[in-house]
Amino acid sequence: MSGPVVCVLILTDGNPSEISVACDGVGDGLPDGLRKHYVTPEPWEALPLLRAGSGSGSVFAYFQGVDRASEVPVEPNLKATILAMACGLHGTRLVGDVVVGRVLMGEGEGEGGVGRVRNGGLRLEELCFDVDLRGKGGEELGWLKNAAMVNYSYKSELARFKEAFAPKENICKHCEGVHFCSEYCEFNAWSHKCVCPAWNVYISRRSSLSTFPYLTFPAVTTSPPFYASHEPYRDFLIGLGLYNEGWWGCELDGWEGGLSGSAKNVDCGVRVGVVEGFGDIGEGGFGQIGSPLETTTTNLDSYNLPIIKDWGEYYVMRSIPPESPVALLLHFPLTLFYGLQKFAKVQLEVARMLKKSLTIHIVGVEKELNFLDIFSELFSLFSKSDTSLTLVFVVRKDMLPSKCTSLNIDKENGNIIKVIAGSYNDDLSPDFDCGTGKPDVIIGMNAGLYAYDSWRFVVDYLRDSSTLGIFTDYNEWSGLNCASLGGEKCRNSMQVNPFRQPLALPVFSMNLPQFANGFFYCFNEQELE
């Protein structure tokens, strides 16, 4: 070990400072060099903020273990907890003074060897991040920008967002983004202060997210009662005579592993047309949905795909009246269309050059099984293109209703819909077991990659390959943190989906703006040369 190493001491009052010490060896507690510098009777624990093998060495946070028998309260350390969250450790709560240092392995030492601190350690400017916990700075700070992605590979169980409870009267006075069950709960939930500034920004965007040009019904479906309870949406559909009818059947009852009252009756082997699927939505309410494009009235891009930037332009192009509620279901095929047009230019170009179908795996499938035929509108939007689509709906076996089985549906113009029962790495290889070869694109709608352990193998597959992955999430906080699993570029790709569902959804434990297919982010996006 050569010379002193700079580490960072983060005090409980939030003031960080650099300390220069000589460190040699890494154990479960504070290294000797730090222990001599910072003397305390309490034991210290080591928390890896970044695991070895990332190219930047390991980064550890050393903090005081909590003495459960002591009656002396331990002061929360907000700054250090924010740092842990920025590294993807959302369930971590750090208390007391915290020392953060980098440990680089010496030559010939593997992951199980003895760590040696070298090459200067960690400096204060490396702990800089924006209000939404994104790392700032140049390439030398890449360890923080990509820490969540690296840490994900080592987690045996994903960090889970808190279980949702019914809204309470106590709401954060600063961001108005979270509910507390009592003043006592609010006082003890100090970790919310770590994200409060970011949530305040997200709340400020509610008005713009609730704006849908040309459409008239969102003035009702994005109003405050809709993001407080499911009942207003139920009443809205009942008022239109659509509740539990056709494709609307799974809008409110959930999926429950294919066992909910509506899901258990889904039979994806039965073909359903537009009129039967949408039900009685009024004269002309369907417009030209499902019909080939009229090139005389549609602007096309270089792939002969229609150029439409939002629901208003889509409704006008398809002659749909502004009061028609079809966007409440069409957000699924339109999200696929916009995602492919926005992120998959390279894949579309290769498919066109090779005169092959573009193979798309749709993963995390649930209620999409109730309206497979609605994706015919995606094929219609591709009707002037030279590229056909093969949509492979990959459904976990425990999510498959009893009436649904694997199937293959041949659509017009060489387009295909397939349903495959199974899970990546469990009983399916994405490259060999789906009847199509390697996917060109993987798409997960309303994914919530942090919420379910089953996403782990999808994320690992994307990170180990160059396959394009396009995902959506309900709210901005969830989207940003899930996108961080793909690294800095993936996280920075996150953007609002103009074809999100025009319906404000309740989040219960939070008051964040929430929309189905609300935000896009992308793994492994490539640029056309």
Q: What is the pTM (predicted TM-score) of this model? A: 0.86
Q: What is the mean pLDDT of the chain?
A: 82
**What pLDDT band is residue 29 in, cutting at 50, 70 and 90?**
low
Cα angle, residue 59 at apex, residues 55 and 60 outer, rounded to 5°: 160
Residue 162: pLDDT over 50: no
State how far the Cα of 457 lies from the Cα of 431, in Å rounded to an integer.
Answer: 13
195, 218, 255: which is closest to 512 by C-alpha? 195
258, 323, 317: which is closest to 293 by C-alpha? 317
For the chain, the 3-state helix, strand and coil shares in percent, each to the nearest 5, are: 35, 15, 50
- Region label for 210, one of left (φ > 0), alpha (ψ between -120 and 50) or beta (otherwise): alpha
Among 44-53, 409-418, 454-463, 488-497, the least confident range: 44-53
**What pLDDT band is residue 201 in, cutting at 50, 70 and 90?**
very high
121 with 102: CB under 8 angstroms? yes
State how far the Cα of 122 lies from the Cα of 103, in Å rounded to an integer.
Answer: 9
Position 165 scores a pLDDT of 38
Per-residue pLDDT of 85-143, as tens digits, reads 888 887 788 888 888 877 655 444 444 334 444 444 677 777 776 777 665 655 555 67
342, 349, 441, 353: which is closest to 390 by C-alpha? 441
Looking at per-residue pLDDT, the higher value among 43 and 207 belongs to 207
311 with 214: CB under 8 angstroms? yes
Which tokens go with 482? 């899930």
Per-residue pLDDT of 386-436, as tens digits, reads 899 999 999 988 888 888 888 899 888 899 999 999 888 877 888 877 878
Per-residue pLDDT of 309-352, as tens digits, reads 999 999 999 999 999 999 999 999 999 999 999 999 999 999 99
14-23, 59-68, 401-410 — most confident range: 401-410
Position 114 scores a pLDDT of 40
Position 119 scores a pLDDT of 41
**What pLDDT band is residue 5 in, cutting at 50, 70 and 90?**
low
Residue 168: pLDDT over 60: no
Which tokens go with 412? 């017009």
368 with 393: CB under 8 angstroms? yes
61 with 45: CB under 8 angstroms? no
Position 356 scores a pLDDT of 94
Looking at per-residue pLDDT, the higher value among 39 and 399 belongs to 399
Rounded to the nearest 10 degrees, the angle between the axes of helix 476-483 and helix 196-204 is 120
Per-residue pLDDT of 379-388, as tens digits, reads 999 999 989 9
Which tokens go with 29? 């507690």
Which tokens go with 91? 């369930």
**What pLDDT band is residue 25 in, cutting at 50, 70 and 90?**
very low
497, 482, 410: which is closest to 452 by C-alpha? 482
Position 18 scores a pLDDT of 78
Please name the amino acid found at residue 308. Answer: I
